[in-house]
């Protein structure tokens, strides 16, 4: 029987906390340091039906050319692509320190038999993916079939081998804070290395509200188990001010131990260039 916790905050309390964090100053870094940090945690992403070899080549070239030692500008953390492009991205990014992430396991709907999900993840891992971004079966979760959701995540985690697993909840479809909190707990218990808000493929993606609920889950899970789980908001974070708000919330809820690209990522396709332009 899967056990999960009821979320301890009301919607009003969530909004009050966000307003408080929004008006606070960062305590652990200056604004310029924050921009460098944001660039260093971005998963530069292309997940379109029109993706092709040239587009992946351009994406990897963009990721590589952010780095400037003289200006202390870092690389992005990773590029994120569909499984057929993992091998190409891995070759292009060799010796750069930039990881290759791949969505797999029935992305973005999750409406795929588990055997197919596992085969797709296996394909991506064997092609060289350092990280796998999977989606939970939201339909199964919403009908209360938590055990099957857990079992699918655990099976995918096992087949990942040494690749890190990011579990996408698709918070815009889960809708309530209690659902988001419960799904976070199930994913972490099943072995997620990261939990992630969204696919970027539905109208409601990452929001400060869903982000804070997931951070609270990570904090409480760490308190109970001692295990640190990473966090990745994705979808709709396309400007520096929004990204800074997410960093402020992260700092206030989880603190300095999570403020690195081993435990925090931002999934974005448009944000990196805007952030780089802010770095002086």
Residues listed for the chain: 280
Distance CA 83, CA 122 (A): 10
Question: Per the residue annotation, which of 133, 157, 216, 248 is the catalytic one?
Answer: 133
Torsion of CA 208, 211, 213, 214, to 10 degrees: 180
Establish whether 196 is a catalytic residue.
yes
Which among 144, 194, 196 has a CA at the least distance from the CA of 172? 196
230-232: strand order across its sheet: 230-232, 194-196, 164-168, 131-135, 99-103, 78-81, 42-45, 266-268
Establish whether 278 is a catalytic residue.
no
Residue 120 neighbours by CB distance under 10 Å: 23
Residue 271: partners with Cβ closer than 8 Å, 6 or more residues away: 38, 42, 237, 238, 239, 240, 243
Classify strands 99-103 and 131-135 as parallel, antiparallel or unpaired: parallel
From residue 136, give the alpha-carbon distance in Å to each of 19, 31, 144, 266: 30, 35, 13, 19
Question: Per the residue annotation, which of 90, 157, 166, 232 is the catalytic one?
Answer: 232
252: which 2 tokens?
Answer: 């206030």
Establish whether 232 is a catalytic residue.
yes
**Active-site residue list:** 133, 196, 232
């Amino acid at each position: 029987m899967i056990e999960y916790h009821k979320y301890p905050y009301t919607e009003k309390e969530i909004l009050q906390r966000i307003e408080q964090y929004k008006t606070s100053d960062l305590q652990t870094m200056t604004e310029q340091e924050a921009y460098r940090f944001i660039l260093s945690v971005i998963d530069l992403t292309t997940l379109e039906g029109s993706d092709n070899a040239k587009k992946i080549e351009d994406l990897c070239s963009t990721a590589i050319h952010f780095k400037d030692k003289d200006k202390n500008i870092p690389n992005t953390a990773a590029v994120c692509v569909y499984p057929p492009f993992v091998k190409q991205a891995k070759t292009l990014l060799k010796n750069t320190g930039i990881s290759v992430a791949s969505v797999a396991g029935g992305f973005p709907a999750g409406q795929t038999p588990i055997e197919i999900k596992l085969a797709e993840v296996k394909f991506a891992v064997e092609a060289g993916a350092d990280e796998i971004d999977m989606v939970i079966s939201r339909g199964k979760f919403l009908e209360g079939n938590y055990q099957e959701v857990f079992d699918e995540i655990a099976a995918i985690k096992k087949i990942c081998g040494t690749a890190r697993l990011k579990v996408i909840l698709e918070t815009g479809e889960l809708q309530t804070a209690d659902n988001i909190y419960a799904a976070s707990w199930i994913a972490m218990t099943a072995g997620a290395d990261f939990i992630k808000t969204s696919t970027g493929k539905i109208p409601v993606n990452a929001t400060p509200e869903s982000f804070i609920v997931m951070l609270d889950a990570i904090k409480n899970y760490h308190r109970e188990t001692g295990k640190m789980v990473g966090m990745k908001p994705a979808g709709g974070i396309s400007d520096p001010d929004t990204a800074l708000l997410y960093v402020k919330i992260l700092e206030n809820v989880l603190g300095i131990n999570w403020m690195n690209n081993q435990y925090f990522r931002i999934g974005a396709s448009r944000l990196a260039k805007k952030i780089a332009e802010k770095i002086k």
